[in-house]
Amino acid sequence: MTPTIAYQFNRFLRGSVPFAVTFLLALLSVVPTGIGGFAAVTPSFVAMSVFYWSIHRPYLMNAPLVFILGILSDFLTGAPLGLSSLMLLLVHGVALSQRRVFVGKTFLLTWFGYLLVAFGIALLNWLIACLYSLTLIPLAPVMMQFILSLTVFPLLAWVFGMLQNNLLRHT
């Protein structure tokens, strides 16, 4: 018996949750807050989402979707086209390659894994920005963004876990 159109549509909508949430987080990253200097140190919401979903639902957060999210993020932030895609694909690749280490283990291990990935991506992003602008950019805002991202990750991981348990159980 073939599934009904309503069932297929429901399945499609549930399967698009990781992409939609990550896209909303990309939009949230560029919302003006009125806090002076916050734009330079906004947590890497998109990278957190890509890391989480690449571990827990890799078939719903695949490389082409990560690439599209990176391009959309570049358009939103004004970053050089492709830079976010490169960084997010690196996050996705590392998370996917180490998936067996994280799945079914304690959250602290996942958080530590995110710490390592986020630190590496922050430094690589800073290095590329220095090369792109041909000047030495201060490292303090990059490290502040890294620390804020690391601090926010548990909250977002909890929200993602709730979404996964309630919406993606049968996907």
CA dist 50 and 94 (Å) reads 11
- Flag whether pLDDT at 42 surpasses 60: yes
CA dist 23 and 49 (Å) reads 9
Positive or negative, the CA dihedral 28, 31, 35, 39 is: positive
Q: What confidence tier does 107 reach under pLDDT thresholds 50, 70, 90?
A: very high
- Flag whether pLDDT at 39 surpasses 70: no
**CATH code (residue 89):** 1.10.1760
* The two three-digit tokens of residue 11, written as one number: 């399945």
What domain range includes position 53?
Answer: 5-167
> What is the amino acid identity at position 132?
Y
pLDDT digits (tens, 9 = 90+) for 117-157: 999 999 999 999 899 889 999 999 999 999 999 999 999 99
Distances in whole angstroms, Cα of residue 67 to Cα of each of 119, 127, 159:
20, 21, 23
pLDDT digits (tens, 9 = 90+) for 45-68: 999 999 999 999 999 999 999 999
Give me the numbers of helices (H) and strands (E) for the chain, helices first please: 8, 0
> What is the amino acid identity at position 108?
L
Output the pLDDT for position 170. Answer: 61
Determine contact, residues 165/120, Cβ cutoff 8 Å.
Answer: no
pLDDT digits (tens, 9 = 90+) for 70-105: 999 999 988 889 999 999 999 999 999 999 999 989
Residue of higher predicted confidence among 3 and 98:
98
Kindly state the DSSP code that residue 38 receives in the 8-state scheme: G
- Flag whether pLDDT at 35 surpasses 90: no
Q: What confidence tier does 38 reach under pLDDT thresholds 50, 70, 90?
A: low
Domain count, the chain: 1
